């Protein structure tokens, strides 16, 4: 097994555009039945949820679908630094409700471990499989120092959180499992063209970076983005059809489910983060002071919340649920309501 997927694919130079550019294909003419397995990269957010529901509406059997969640803070960390504490269990409860398999994957040390790396190699990746939990190996790559937050950029070299904690982790989990050799696999993600100019250039269908269909492994892996051409309205429409309760963050007026402390968070979102978890907010502010380099290109997080009000939709009940490690609400609801965060601030990669 190769030590680093970055070494294999040259991800140090990887930008937001797909690595292998293929001619775009309408999903209507794509033979979904030709795939042995569908791996839905599942953050718990609306777009990946809509992608899952699309597959089910196309008649894909549940035994051919797996949900994969990348734990950005590491698996069940002692303390969450970036992500919503409830997300992992929300994903578990949703997978159980749909009768689907769910596998977690993560980089040792998570976001904070990578951020604080000093004259070190990047740490190993771990991933769950039907046979148990495995590692990609030991530390890998070059000795280097990071000691800064990811920066607001389309480039994954600067916005390293996506590359090191999601893209690379997912690729290693695929290449590390022989069950994907000599088979056809679809990696399903929820990027939409409407989200940004960079994402509008993505293809709805192309070979995945882990693809080796012409190699000895005959590992045929395609990347499929089912909702790429959808509007946000279409995303909420399919979720409403299935009566799925959205992640608590949407119900508290967050327009996008990424990390709770996403580097792309708006000023009001940072004010909301301080309300929900003041200790976390101060820890992030402290690291900005320590590094001498902020997340935002011009402002410290303390400056960004000046005069800004947290979201009105944050209630004590929702806050308690979002900050808990256990999701105790229903997955399916009879009286479905559009969450307060729909069509709101959806700050993310530009």
Q: Which of 337, 296, 251, 300 is nearest to 44 (CA)?
A: 251
What's residue 15's pLDDT? 28
Residue 345: count of CB within 10 angstroms of its CB: 17
214 in any annotated domain: yes
What's residue 12's pLDDT? 28
Domain count, the chain: 1
Most confident of the following: 10-14, 23-27, 111-115:
111-115
264 in any annotated domain: no
What's residue 23's pLDDT? 41
Mean confidence (pLDDT) of the chain: 90
345 in any annotated domain: no
175 in any annotated domain: yes
pLDDT in tens, 215-234: 999 999 999 999 999 999 99
Phi, psi of 183 (to 5 degrees): -150, 170
Q: Which of 203, 242, 197, 248 is nearest to 350 (CA)?
A: 197
Where residue 158 falls among pLDDT bands split at 50, 70, 90?
confident
**Does residue 175 register a pLDDT over 50?**
yes
What's residue 29's pLDDT? 64
What's residue 349's pLDDT? 63
172 in any annotated domain: yes
Beta-sheet pairing, 125-129 with 132-135: antiparallel
**Does residue 130 register a pLDDT over 50?**
yes
Residue 130: which CATH number? 3.40.50
**Does residue 312 register a pLDDT over 70?**
yes
What's residue 197's pLDDT? 85
What's residue 27's pLDDT? 65
Give the pTM.
0.91
4 vs 214, residue with greater confidence: 214
- C-alpha distances in Å from residue 150, one per residue of 22, 70, 165: 29, 17, 11
pLDDT in tens, 78-128: 999 999 999 999 999 999 999 999 999 999 999 999 999 999 999 999 999
Residue 315: count of CB within 10 angstroms of its CB: 11
What's residue 73's pLDDT? 98
Q: Which of 91, 110, 111 is nearest to 101 (CA)?
A: 91
Where residue 18 falls among pLDDT bands split at 50, 70, 90?
very low
**Does residue 61 register a pLDDT over 60?**
yes
**Does residue 322 register a pLDDT over 90?**
yes
Domain encompassing residue 138: 5-233
**Does residue 17 register a pLDDT over 90?**
no
What's residue 157's pLDDT? 81
**Does residue 21 register a pLDDT over 60?**
no
What's residue 84's pLDDT? 98
What's residue 256's pLDDT? 93
Phi, psi of 167 (to 5 degrees): -60, -50
166 in any annotated domain: yes
Q: Which of 235, 241, 237 is nearest to 46 (CA)?
A: 235
Got the DSSP string for 88-151? HHHHHHHHHHHT-EEEEEEETTHHHHHHT--SEEEPPEEEEETTEEEE--S-EEEEE---SPPP
What's residue 152's pLDDT? 85
DSSP state of 181: T
Average pLDDT over residues 278-293: 97
How far is the C-alpha of 219 from the C-alpha of 195, rounded, in Å? Answer: 31
Here the tokens at position 282 are: 């101060």
What's residue 155's pLDDT? 78
5 vs 165, residue with greater confidence: 165
Where residue 140 falls among pLDDT bands split at 50, 70, 90?
confident
265 in any annotated domain: no
What's residue 296's pLDDT? 92
What's residue 13's pLDDT? 25
58 in any annotated domain: yes
81 vs 20, residue with greater confidence: 81
pLDDT in tens, 179-207: 999 999 999 999 999 988 888 888 899 99
What's residue 346's pLDDT? 73
Which residues pair with residue 207 across a beta bridge?
A: 222
């Amino acid at each position: 097994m190769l030590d680093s997927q970055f070494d294999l694919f040259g991800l140090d130079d990887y930008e937001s555009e797909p690595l292998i550019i293929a001619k775009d294909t309408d999903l209507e003419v794509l033979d979904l039945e030709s795939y042995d397995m569908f791996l839905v990269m599942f953050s718990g957010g609306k777009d990946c949820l809509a992608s899952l529901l699309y597959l089910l509406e196309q008649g894909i059997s549940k035994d051919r679908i797996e949900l994969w969640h990348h734990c950005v803070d590491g698996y069940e960390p002692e303390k969450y630094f970036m992500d919503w504490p409830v997300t992992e269990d929300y994903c578990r409860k949703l997978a159980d409700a749909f009768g689907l398999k769910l596998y977690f994957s993560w980089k040792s040390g998570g976001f904070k471990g990578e951020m604080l790396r000093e004259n070190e190699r990047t740490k190993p990746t771990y991933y769950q499989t039907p046979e148990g939990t495995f590692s990609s190996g030991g530390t890998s790559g070059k000795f280097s120092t990071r000691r800064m937050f990811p920066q607001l950029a389309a480039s994954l070299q600067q916005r390293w959180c996506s590359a090191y904690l999601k893209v690379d982790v997912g690729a290693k989990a695929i290449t590390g499992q022989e069950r994907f050799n000599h088979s056809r696999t679809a990696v399903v993600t929820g990027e939409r063209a409407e989200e940004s100019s960079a994402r509008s250039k993505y293809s709805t269908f192309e070979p995945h970076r882990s693809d080796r269909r012409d190699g000895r492994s005959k590992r045929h892996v395609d990347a499929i983005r089912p909702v790429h051409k959808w509007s946000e309205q279409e995303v909420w429409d399919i979720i409403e059809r299935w009566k799925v309760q959205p992640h608590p963050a949407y119900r508290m007026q967050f327009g996008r489910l990424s990390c709770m402390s996403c580097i792309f968070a708006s000023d009001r979102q940072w004010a909301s983060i301080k309300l929900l978890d003041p200790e976390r907010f101060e820890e992030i502010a402290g690291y900005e002071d320590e590094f001498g380099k902020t997340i935002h290109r011009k402002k410290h997080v303390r400056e960004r919340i000046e005069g800004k009000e947290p979201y009105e939709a944050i209630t004590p009940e929702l806050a308690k649920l979002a900050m808990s490690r256990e999701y105790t609400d229903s997955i399916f609801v009879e009286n479905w309501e559009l969450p307060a965060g729909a069509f709101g601030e959806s700050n993310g990669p530009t």
